[in-house]
Structure 1
Amino acid sequence: MQNALRDKSYFENRVTQDMARHLRPVERSIPETMAYACRILAMTDQEAGLAGQISVRSVVPDAYWTLRFGLGFDEATPEDFIEVDRDLNVLSGHGMANPATRFHLWVYQSRPDVHAIIHTHSPWASALAAARQPLVIAQMDMTPLHEDCAFLPDWPGVPIADQEGVIISKALGQKRAIILAHHGYLTAGHSCEEATYLSVYLERAARMQIRAQAFGPLTPVDDELAREAHDYLLKPSIVRATFDYWARQTQRAPGLPKL
């Protein structure tokens, strides 16, 4: 007897239930999660000297956790994260914040849903930024950025003052990522895991776009299908499971000390 065709919603509901039952995310402290995020960025070749930044919103109003200035992503440990207030005064830990994280405050202020920010000058996203090209969603693995990646066409300068934060936060709007022309990119996640996930996929998408353009103009994915894939691939269970997988990878990666 031939099986009746089931609607896609049936399978999506079943998969969602199965993931809730079988995927068990690893519980980590904020500094531990941030340390793994940094290692993942290093593993995926997204270091940028000392220009790369990561922050996570603190429970203290107008404060956030960030990697102390002077360290690269590849050498971050949980002990290397500090908590700072809006004037970058240290509340917890030792060291100083990267002065360029000041613009993160403006994103947190305008977006209560954002709890983590990553900004760096990764090779492929920076190539799009140098060419002043917005992202084109032309393949399934790009869809977590569908209708979720803004574009700032003009560089406001080194973001160590308030005006740059105003410009970048306005350009980001309600999206979770932005390509900053002449600069790099930023991802703004509901969690540190989500911001990291978006960062990895944004860099991959930029690489794919640049390579595919060698064969001619890109054809964007159908909006409805891309929107469906966006929502599916950004399910928190998928994001967390992927982050945990990458975290395990960093423990085996050559050149990265184990946490």
Structure 2
Amino acid sequence: MKKPEVILGSQQRNIEEERRYRKERLAASFRLFAKYDYDMGVAGHITARDPEYSDHFWVNPFAMDFSQIKVSDLVLANHQGKVIQGNKPINKAAFAIHSRIHEARPDVIAAAHSHSIYGKSFSSLGKLLDPITQDACAFYEDHGLFDDYTGVVLDLEEGERIARALKNYKAVILRNHGLLTVGRSVEEAAWWFISMERSCQAQLLAESAGKPIKIDHEQALKTRGQVGTFQAKINFEPMWERIIKQEPDLLN
């Protein structure tokens, strides 16, 4: 059980407060994913590294509807796949993917993956997003492609391959599968997923109508610096305020 090399999200929060903070944002992210129709059966998972034990992460219980998840439902698992806290099992794919990502990327606090419609549609093209919109520039030269598909991810070796494709990026497109995003906070991982899903939708729509004009390299990099860095937490905040007002039970 590793002690953390993780900096707390706020100097004013102790470990217990930081744990609660991450779990609340994690539960809220599941509710938001449900609202946006990113959930599909038992597929999809978002994880948050525990602030005290860096080789443990909080995750959704297997087969629980995203729209029903509360803070108290979240399960704590370690990188060996053992459930440490909670009385429900976790998704095997969630363990195989997220444990390897959290291990490979100590800077990552949270990771998000689901079978959202536009993300999985775009992933079937086997290519990266183009810088055709301001929002898409957030991912310019900052996302990878896992250019393979071998079925449901159930073994650790496959999770390790996905982590290698992610490199030091904020996101990776899993060919014929969907999207996966990471962040230095739960808010970041969730927002990057939402933004990337919408960027996939925009590119699919644009390509169906004609040939999109790409933003040039220099401007794409400049725009990434403006919209692809610290804006994620800011963009998540209005959604957080709305969901806890509409569904305050998620905090239970």
Deviation at 1:144? 1.4
Alignment coverage as a number of residue pairs: 230
Correspondence for 2:214: 220
* CA displacement 1:51-86 (0-9 Å, x = unmatched): 111111123132111011121222111111111112
**Are positions 1:243 and 2:229 aligned together?**
no
Name segments (4+ residues, structure 1) moved above 6 Å: none
Deviation at 1:202? 0.5
Contact 2:101/2:159, CA 8 A, preserved across alignment: yes
- Separation of aligned partners in 1, 2:102 and 2:166: 11
- Separation of aligned partners in 1, 2:186 and 2:122: 24
Unaligned runs of 5+ in 1: 1-26
**Are positions 1:151 and 2:145 aligned together?**
yes
* CA displacement 1:101-134 (0-9 Å, x = unmatched): 1221111122111111101110001101123232
Residues 41-120 of structure 1 aligned to structure 2 (within 5 Å): 41-58=33-50, 59-101=52-94, 102-120=96-114
- Separation of aligned partners in 2, 1:74 and 1:227: 37
Equivalent residue in structure 2 for 1:132, among 126, 133, 137: 126
- Separation of aligned partners in 1, 2:233 and 2:148: 34
* CA displacement 1:5-42 (0-9 Å, x = unmatched): xxxxxxxxxxxxxxxxxxxxxx8622111011111212
- Separation of aligned partners in 2, 1:158 and 1:99: 10
Contact 1:129/1:182, CA 8 A, preserved across alignment: yes
Measured on the aligned residues, the alpha-carbon RMSD in Å equals 1.8
Q: 1:156 to 1:62 in 2, by over 3 A?
A: farther
Deviation at 1:147? 1.1
Contact 1:197/1:243, CA 8 A, preserved across alignment: yes
Equivalent residue in structure 2 for 1:202, among 193, 196, 201: 196
The alignment partner of 1:140 has SS state of coil
The alignment partner of 2:135 has SS state of helix
The alignment partner of 1:134 has SS state of coil
Unaligned runs of 5+ in 2: 1-17
Which shows bigger deviation, 142-151 or 214-223? 214-223
Deviation at 1:248? 2.6
Deviation at 1:198? 0.3
Flag the structure with larger Rg. Answer: 1
Contact 1:56/1:65, CA 8 A, preserved across alignment: yes
Letter of the 1:34 partner, please give it: L
Equivalent residue in structure 1 for 2:171, among 166, 171, 177: 177
Deviation at 1:146? 1.3
Letter of the 1:139 partner, please give it: T
- Separation of aligned partners in 2, 1:76 and 1:173: 30
